[in-house]
Copies of this chain bind each other. A is one copy, B any other.
């Protein structure tokens, strides 16, 4: 299977992603072995995170941006991190018809967000799917998320560049973007810079450019970054400029070492998060431990034992 992925077989890639999404223990063991095997090839894509609230035209943008990239001969994978997919029963990308042209493009690969119950599971699956896409020889891996809760932080922590897609704002009002999100952004793209909305989009670009200037300059980035730029996914304008700016930024970071050190840090964090999750999984995996937890929990709930005391007993049990 590793070989077929490395040779770029799309069906093998799709099946491998299904494997990493599985919760079964035997699947997990296979997935870990597969990931270790394909990692040896050392292939890397440019990982781009993209966040934008519903209505900002994210699907249209990804389709237009993706087609522009494949038009240059680049292989593009699109993954989604959608923490709500478990609830809504479908992912933002579930309906590939929303990216009809891109999904038919032989150089593109689109994979919707899996139905997972917690963000931690989505995070693991997405990190592993990125690794599989890189092994399959993709040049660019786009990871998209809706701008809710912690999913943006999560995507920023697994990508080389994190892009915010925004809509033109009315007047000079900024769209209540949280400062924390602005600080994560490597670039802000204001979509819908076409037709009647163009003047508003241009104003919004300069508002964001001003707001970005007020944030602390990043020592590892060139003068003038992070930038705010206008794009029109509909008219397919500004996409090439945006891509050029992304490449400039990535090249600069490669030159000064930040690109590599950032990836190393992300990989280390991923490893540590996996260990923590694996450790906590013990509390629910073993029936005997589950029963003991429930028994002590009932003692505490009934007021017959102090929580800290019960916790100490449980931990001693786990040590034994």
Query: Interface of A with B (CB < 8 Å)?
Result: 31-33, 35-36, 39, 42, 127-128, 131, 264-265, 267-268, 270-272, 274-276, 278-280, 282-283, 293, 296-298, 300-303, 305-312, 314-315, 318
Contacts and interface: CB of A to CB of B under 8 A. Distances in A.
Given A42-B303, A306-B131, A271 B311 contact: yes
Nearest to A29: B312
Contact of A265 (B127, B301, B315): B301
Nearest to A276: B280
| Protomer copies | 2
A279 B309 contact: no
Pick the most buried of A265, A271, A293, A302: most chain B CB atoms within 10 A of its CB. A271
A293 to B, nearest CB: 7
A32 B309 contact: yes
B268 A301 contact: yes
B308 A35 contact: yes
A280 B272 CA distance: 11
A157 to B, nearest CB: 13
Contacts of A128: 308
Contacts of A275: 283, 293, 311, 314-315
A271 B296 contact: yes
A183 to B, nearest CB: 16
Contacts of A271: 296-297, 300, 307, 310-311, 314
B283 A268 contact: no
Contacts of A42: 303
A279 B282 CA distance: 10
Nearest to A44: B303
Nearest to A261: B301
Given A267-B301, A271-B300, A271-B310, 10 more contacts: A39-B303, A264-B302, A264-B303, A267-B300, A267-B303, A271-B296, A271-B297, A272-B297, A274-B307, A279-B279
